[in-house]
Amino acid sequence: MKYGRTYNFSAGPATMPEEVLEEVRDEMMNYRGSGMCVMEMSHRSKVYQQIIDEAEQDLRDLMGIPDNYKVLFIQGGATLQFSMIPMNLMKNGKAVYIETGAWSKKAIAEAKKVGEVIVAASSKDKNYTYIPDCSDLDIPEDTDYVYICENETIHGVTWNKLPNTKGHVLVSDQSSMFLSKPCNVSDYGMIYAGVQKNVGPAGMVVVIIREDLIRDDLTDLPIYLQYKTHADAGSMYNTPNCWAIYVCGKVFKYLKKIGGLSAMEQRNIEKAKVFYDFLDSSEMFQGTVVPEDRSLMNIPFVTGDKDLDAEVIAYTKAAGFENLKGHKSVGGLRASVYNAMPKDGVEALVECLKKFEAEHK
Ligand SMILES: *Cc1c(COP(=O)(O)O)cnc(C)c1O
């Protein structure tokens, strides 16, 4: 591989499009004649304002974000949103959460500190290997919102059909599937995504929120935790994560160039199919998720034998494939095949795993 790079199957921070990294490299010492690097630049400068404005506009174009939604770039990663969401959106102090894996569990724990949380459906009974039926949930009338994690990064399950919220606001954590396929933004009240999974450098979250959900009566809430603060200041109440916004902006342009989110989805489907077809035909390796709810981005799999799993990890690492160890909470193996992972990388990994299997018959 170019530059001696490895195929990196990390769940996050994760692999980036090479041409984006090359552009960043080329602009490192002197950004377009400004005489400085973007990380040295005042966020109040004209040249930086153009970077953030273009990033927002390109994201709006990509996702078709309606005008009555704000796009916010906030620090604190996706994790801070576990708290900001209930703090800002619980008007009646009540929300419905769907428990589908490690990340929705974390969000539930934080929301419970703020108000009443109703877990209306859960897949805990089968160790989070499927998405529960959410076509007819029991949702109290005064529920402020319904919350889902749309792609569970650790457990590898994804929502192919959104829950029936019965008219309530839907809030979705899209961190590990953001921009992996087209998205109808108006189905949601709020979408958010930590960018280090599928888009850019860690330490920032993109929040897409319907304007009427941004409240101005939360004056007791610390100012930085109010969506209004970030919305009113164009994501520059304080110094934003300038670098992450700059790199994400480049990824948005890259996605537009390759044909947008439908083209990206097509590539992702083909890529994941290579891996799932292998799992389904292998005698040694099995996927852990029911086929209907398998993620296109994070693919957990096992041999059924812990020692053999460890051998596989060492074997693939020696062959130049990094970060295939499953999350410590679930064990086994996991291949994260985000937007920037080329199909070649997945095919090469499959060849390596086939070789391992043949040698260990
Ligand atoms: C990684 C991840 C988070 C946490 O992101 P941070 O930026 O580390 O806070 C939250 N939700 C999902 C689905 C994730 O994959």
Q: Is 194 in the pocket of ligand 1 (CB under 6 A)?
A: yes
The pair of structure tokens assigned to 339 is 């937007």
Q: Is 178 in the pocket of ligand 1 (CB under 6 A)?
A: no
Q: Measured in angstroms, how far is the CA atom of residue 299 from the centroid of ligand 1? A: 16
The preferred substitution site among 153, 248, 338 for testing ligand 1, maximizing ligand atoms within 8 Å of CB, is 153
Query: What pLDDT was estimated at residue 311?
Result: 97
Q: What is the pLDDT of residues 91-114, one digit of tens each?
A: 999 999 999 999 999 999 999 999
Smallest CA separation from ligand 1 atom 12, residue: 175
Query: What pLDDT was estimated at residue 330?
Result: 85
139 HSE (CA, 13 A, CB side): 23
Query: What pLDDT was estimated at residue 141?
Result: 97
Other CB atoms within a 10 A radius of the CB of residue 108 amount to: 21
Query: What pLDDT was estimated at residue 328?
Result: 87
Instruction: Locate all alpha helices (DSSP H) within the chain, ordered by sequence.
Output: 18-27, 46-63, 79-89, 102-111, 227-232, 242-257, 260-281, 306-318, 343-359
Burial 219-250 (b: 16+ CB within 10 A, else e): eebeeebbbbbbbeebbbbeebbbbbbbbbbb
CB 153 within 8 A of CB 12: yes
Low-confidence stretches of the chain (pLDDT beneath 70)? none
Query: What pLDDT was estimated at residue 1?
Result: 79
